[in-house]
Amino acid sequence: MTTTSTRAWAALAADRPLEPFTLTRRECGPLDVQLDILFSGICHSDIHQARGEWGASTFPMVPGHEIIGRVSAVGAKVTRFAVGDLAGVGCMVDSCRTCGSCAHGDEQFCETGVAWTYNGTEMDRKTPTQGGYSTRVVVAEHFTLKVPAGLDLASAAPLLCAGVTTWSPLKQWNCKKGDRVGVVGLGGLGHMAVKLAAAMGAEVTVLSTSRGKEVDAKRLGAANFEVTSERATFKKLARRFDLIIDTVSAEHDLNAYLGTLRPYGAMVLVGVPPKPAPVAAFSLIGGNRRLAGSSIGNIRETQDVLDFCAANKLGADVEVVPAAKINEAYERMLKNDVRYRFVIDASTF
């Protein structure tokens, strides 16, 4: 198979900063779409994986799964995309398409293992996948998303992960007008959770460790803002929420947040702290509370959140950075200093 040489930035080891790198992409197969990348978001999952915090990581690793680009080639059997179209790629680039989960449209739960956009392999289980911190990507058509007209392209990139990862649990738990929704952590995922839940009519409360984010939280659509470093906050919020979306990337006490759920309320974990967190049985038993998780979202949900954001004039609040600032962006995210998603301008790779 012929390949094309592609400029990128990669982590060569878990303890090394990212650096310029050249990778090879396959030529467009009959069912593939090739994108020339315009913008690539920086997700905290990129940091976790580039630093080997979730167990085995494969190096060299080109992270990035919030990709917006322009179609530069299509395979002979591609029907939904043409050269020149805008398109997006999220966390998945392929799956088996035949197992029960795939047939049900939940590609992320493919029983043979989905092909993640990076730090994984293609479905041949040999060829490593490489992500969006690069100038070009080749993806199966089924995993290529339409970018509706009217979206700002840099602000749309984070919808491919941060957007769908918060959209999916809001939909799964039937978020609706008047619901009291708590969003824990105001970073990339958290700020999208606020925008989406507010647009669905919920009364949103941000639970943050950063007092300085209050004005932003209200501007993003939150009705209330609470600082979690004060114990009194949890007393005040006891039995408040119908639904909590927990986006926190580091260790925190789940029991304290569970106490802010009303009876039968649900707290959904989307953040992935590297260490397990203890949960007391009584935190759940009192009030029949539910603790759940949610993994990104399927391809249909990814298209839905793009369409919803176009219709409601929503997008991420982004700080566009050149490739040379990726490592600095990582450090700033680790200090909770992101307002609210870094997006890399792909012309700088």
Toward ligand NAP, which CB reaches closer, 32 or 301?
301
Q: Which stretch binds Zn ion (CB under 5 A): 52-60, 91-99, 231-239, 308-316?
A: 91-99
List, in order, residues 6 or more apart from 216 with CB less than 8 Å away: 186, 191, 317, 339, 340
Toward Zn ion, which CB reaches closer, 74 or 162?
162
CB of residue 107 to Zn ion, shortest distance in Å:
7
How far is C-alpha 235 from the chain's CA centre? 31
From Zn ion, ligand NAP, none, interface partner of 129 (C-beta below 5 to 8 A by class) = none
| CA distance to 35, 137, 263, 336, per residue, from 277 (Å) | 40, 37, 22, 20
The vertex-315 CA angle with 17 and 269, nearest 5°, equals 65
**Dihedrals phi, psi of 17, to nearest 5 degrees:** -65, 160
Torsion of CA 204, 153, 164, 249, to 10 degrees: -70
| Coil, strand or helix at 331 | helix
From ligand NAP, Zn ion, none, interface partner of 99 (C-beta below 5 to 8 A by class) = Zn ion
Residue 298 as a binder of ligand NAP (CB under 6 A): the answer is no
Tell which positions 183-222 bind ligand NAP, by CB under 6 A: 185-190, 208-210, 213
Write the DSSP symbol of residue 134: B
CB of residue 230 to ligand NAP, shortest distance in Å:
13
Q: Comparing C-alpha atoms, which of 105, 125, 17 is closest to residue 63?
A: 17
Q: Which stretch binds ligand NAP (CB under 6 A): 41-49, 77-85, 97-105, 140-148?
A: 41-49
Q: Comparing C-alpha atoms, which of 281, 206, 216 is closest to residue 240?
A: 206
From Zn ion, ligand NAP, none, interface partner of 316 (C-beta below 5 to 8 A by class) = none
Q: Which stretch binds ligand NAP (CB under 6 A): 28-36, 132-140, 161-169, 260-268?
A: 161-169
- Cβ–Cβ < 8 Å for 252, 277: yes
From ligand NAP, Zn ion, none, interface partner of 48 (C-beta below 5 to 8 A by class) = ligand NAP
Q: Which stretch binds Zn ion (CB under 5 A): 81-89, 96-104, 151-159, 275-283?
A: 96-104
Residue 117 as a binder of ligand NAP (CB under 6 A): the answer is no
Toward ligand NAP, which CB reaches closer, 71 or 268?
268
Residue 88 as a binder of ligand NAP (CB under 6 A): the answer is no
Residue type, 116: W
- Cβ–Cβ < 8 Å for 75, 33: yes
Contact footprint for Zn ion (CB under 5 A): 43, 45, 95-96, 99, 102, 110, 161
Contact footprint for ligand NAP (CB under 6 A): 43-45, 48, 161-162, 165, 185-190, 208-210, 213, 247-252, 270-272, 294-296, 333, 336, 338
